[in-house]
Amino acid sequence: MKGPITIAGATFLILGDQLASAADELRSEPLYVLRHSTAHLLAAAVTQLWPGTKYAIGPPVENGFYYDFLLPEPVGEADLRRIEKKMEELVRRNLPYEQVVLSRKQAIERFRALGQDFKLEILAGEAAAEQEISCYATGEFFDLCRGPHVDSTRRLANFKLTKVSGAYWRGEEKNAQLTRIYGTAWPDRESLDDYLRALAEAEKRDHKRLGPQLKLFRLDERTGQGMVIWLPHGATVRRELERWIVDEELARSYQHVVTPVVAKLDLFRQSGHYQKFQETMFPPMRTPEGEELELRPMNCPHHILVYEAEPRSYRDLPLRIAEIGNMYRWEKSGELMGMIRVRSIALNDAHIFCTPDQLQEELRGAIELAQYFMRTLGVQIHRYRLSIRDDQAAKWVGADEQWRHAESALAEALDASGERYEVGRGEAAFYGPKLDFQILDAQRREFTNNTVQVDFQLPLRFGLEYIAPDGSRQTPIMVHRGALGALERFTAYLIEHYAGAFPTWLAPVQVGVLPITDAHVPYAQQVAERLRRERLRVEVDARPERVGKKIAEGRNRRLPYLAVVGEREAESGSVQIRDRAGEQSSEELEAFVERVASEVRQKRL
């Protein structure tokens, strides 16, 4: 399951096993060694504090490390301080990290004597082939480990334990749940402090904090979990995005449709969603008349019905059916997160029905459109991932040949785009491989923002056809593609990306007009009216407050422009403009109107 694989003549590094299976060069990186050794230090402290603890694995990860334990009693965040103290004590004792190479038999005996069942499992599993078993001893702590490590615990000074969570042994839900303790570790005090400071900064851009603060959205338990209330400001941002998306798609020969969020359950039986995706679907509704209705988890079946609305000829293809489609997924309660992971989802969705000859170009077009959207918004795709099957056949539907065809088609389209990408085995959709556009949130957690998928299955399940030039009936290929992604997740991402300071064209309020005294309110209203005639979004702050306060608040609200108007401006028909950078300028009202209107037209960043 590890190592490079080859698709369509190109070779890719497999992701998904994180650093735990890192290549040998990576294992010797100084920072990797430091964090890996700190993980051992953590385990040494924990096993001293809680004798009888069984330790599982403890790899370095981005910014730090963790170690998984089966503890004799529950351990929580309140215990972290105590564990850190013990770690510091071990650091002061200047304990060496000593490599001990044992024969397979000796190793098994040793870990059996220690009662370390997880290590025995590893010896019987992934380390089964090795005859010489590398172990490391640090004081009384003894671990199965390839190393390398630092020479002594005294090299480890700049660490901090950060959180406790549950984690399943070998990452499988049916296995025992272990206690995972996370920490961060750095070569020097400054790097540690910088990292902790950056975390605190990231919290300030957190969409869960900024969203309610800027009145963009709220979540209320009375709507049910994962159901977003888009407040007027957030709805404005979303509406601007939607208008833009629809315009751009219409310009690329997409046809927009509107379809309902509820359908008979049989529709999802036919599509296969109910068989393969059921645990992510809301339970069916049973009507008094005995009908079974289902909230749709995806829009594809409805778009297939659009395709079927009339007989199709090859001349109709490619047929690009688009919708900003609402769908509902029953995500488990613990999986929900702010607006990034929700249960009511509005996807910038489309299904392209095409011939095999057209597939390449359609995939490229879908990739380019997504990139155009991202470029215009000044956001960056963190990485591209080609998600393919793994060898657990039960998870996937369709013939091998079609999967291979689909995988190579995506790989070729990606190659043509010139983007570097990685391969995610086992990350495919149940009906076909996909290309995932990955983004990072403020805390550098990775999410899939958008996908482009090739699908041979659904057209077959629905018996879709088109008449080919020779008069024969052929099955079209379906491309499922997002471009912007889900509006909830993407808006959350934008809030964090811009730290709430949306580009003017997206800003819920673009200009705040601030009269200096009551006497200037009529002129302020005039200015606002003029701006509104250009379809700009304006607010007049007519409260009897000092202009300094109005400015402070306008800045807190991240308004792109504040127009201060007083005696001078009213007389000369001008505005005193203050932008978000704090730059001030006096401008003729007409010049300002044109400047902002043009900035909005150009969607300037």
Residues 72-131 within binding reach of RNA (CB under 7 A): 74-78
Report, in Å, the least distance between residue 80 CB and RNA.
9
Check binding of 342 to RNA (CB under 7 A): yes
3-class SS of residue 560? coil
State which of residues 42, 347, 359, 538 lies at the interface with RNA (CB under 7 A).
347
State which of residues 576, 593, 599, 600 lies at the interface with RNA (CB under 7 A).
576
Report, in Å, the least distance between residue 445 CB and RNA.
5
Report, in Å, the least distance between residue 435 CB and RNA.
10
- State which residue, 131 or 333, has the beta carbon closest to RNA: 333
Q: Among 426, 442, 363, which residue's Cα sits nearest to residue 393?
A: 426
Report, in Å, the least distance between residue 514 CB and RNA.
8
CA distance linking residue 32 with residue 279, whole number of Å: 38
- Taking every pair of C-alpha atoms in the chain, what is the biggest distance, in angstroms? 94
Site string for RNA, 448-487 (x = CB under 7 A): xxxx------------------------------x--xx-
- State which residue, 180 or 320, has the beta carbon closest to RNA: 180
User: Residue 129: which region, alpha, beta or left (left: phi > 0; alpha: psi -120 to 50)?
Assistant: alpha
3-class SS of residue 224? coil
Report, in Å, the least distance between residue 560 CB and RNA.
14
CA distance linking residue 424 with residue 408, whole number of Å: 14
452: Cβ contacts below 8 Å, ≥ 6 apart: 363, 366, 367, 370, 410, 413, 434, 435, 479, 480, 481, 482
- State which residue, 572 or 598, has the beta carbon closest to RNA: 572
By CB under 7 A, what part of segment 159-178 binds RNA? Answer: 163-168, 171-173, 177
- State which residue, 173 or 401, has the beta carbon closest to RNA: 173
Residue pair 42/71 in contact by the 8 Å Cβ criterion: no
Report, in Å, the least distance between residue 64 CB and RNA.
11
State which of residues 407, 455, 496, 569 lies at the interface with RNA (CB under 7 A).
569
- State which residue, 172 or 289, has the beta carbon closest to RNA: 172
CA distance linking residue 89 with residue 509, whole number of Å: 56
State which of residues 37, 153, 179, 184 lies at the interface with RNA (CB under 7 A).
179
Report, in Å, the least distance between residue 356 CB and RNA.
24
Report, in Å, the least distance between residue 518 CB and RNA.
4
Check binding of 133 to RNA (CB under 7 A): no
Residue count of the chain, please give it: 605
By CB under 7 A, what part of segment 266-325 binds RNA? Answer: 280
Residue pair 504/378 in contact by the 8 Å Cβ criterion: no
Torsion of CA 151, 154, 156, 161, to 10 degrees: 130
- State which residue, 32 or 67, has the beta carbon closest to RNA: 67
- State which residue, 338 or 500, has the beta carbon closest to RNA: 338
Report, in Å, the least distance between residue 485 CB and RNA.
5
- The first and second tokens of residue 22, run together, are 């890192």
Q: How many CB atoms lie within 10 A of CB 358?
A: 18
State which of residues 35, 119, 329, 481 lies at the interface with RNA (CB under 7 A).
329
Q: What is the CA radius of gyration of the chain?
A: 29
Size of the site for RNA (CB under 7 A): 83
By CB under 7 A, what part of segment 428-447 binds RNA? Answer: 429, 436, 443, 445, 447
In the numeric block, the tokens 């709430």 are attached to 500
- The first and second tokens of residue 497, run together, are 């990306």
CA distance linking residue 202 with residue 209, whole number of Å: 11
328: Cβ contacts below 8 Å, ≥ 6 apart: 261, 282, 295, 296, 297, 343, 344, 345
Beta-bridged to residue 586, according to DSSP, are 576
Residue pair 404/347 in contact by the 8 Å Cβ criterion: no
By CB under 7 A, what part of segment 358-377 binds RNA? Answer: none
State which of residues 225, 253, 275, 598 lies at the interface with RNA (CB under 7 A).
225
State which of residues 308, 335, 357, 400 lies at the interface with RNA (CB under 7 A).
335
Q: Is the peptide bond between 148 and the residue preceding it cis, with omega within 30 degrees of 0?
A: yes
- State which residue, 287 or 392, has the beta carbon closest to RNA: 392
- State which residue, 135 or 342, has the beta carbon closest to RNA: 342
Site string for RNA, 534-563 (x = CB under 7 A): ----------xxxxxx-xxx-xx-----x-
- State which residue, 142 or 297, has the beta carbon closest to RNA: 297
CA distances (Å), 582 to each of 552, 558, 561, in order? 11, 11, 10
Q: How many CB atoms lie within 10 A of CB 454?
A: 29
Report, in Å, the least distance between residue 421 CB and RNA.
15
Report, in Å, the least distance between residue 79 CB and RNA.
8
Kindly tell me the sign of the dihedral angle through the C-alpha atoms of 300, 304, 307, 309: negative
Check binding of 341 to RNA (CB under 7 A): yes
By CB under 7 A, what part of segment 494-523 binds RNA? Answer: 516-519
Q: Of all helices (H) and strands (E), which one includes residue 363?
A: helix 359-377
Site string for RNA, 197-216 (x = CB under 7 A): -----------x---xx---
Which ranges of 331-358 would DSSP assign to H, the alpha helix? Answer: none
- State which residue, 91 or 164, has the beta carbon closest to RNA: 164
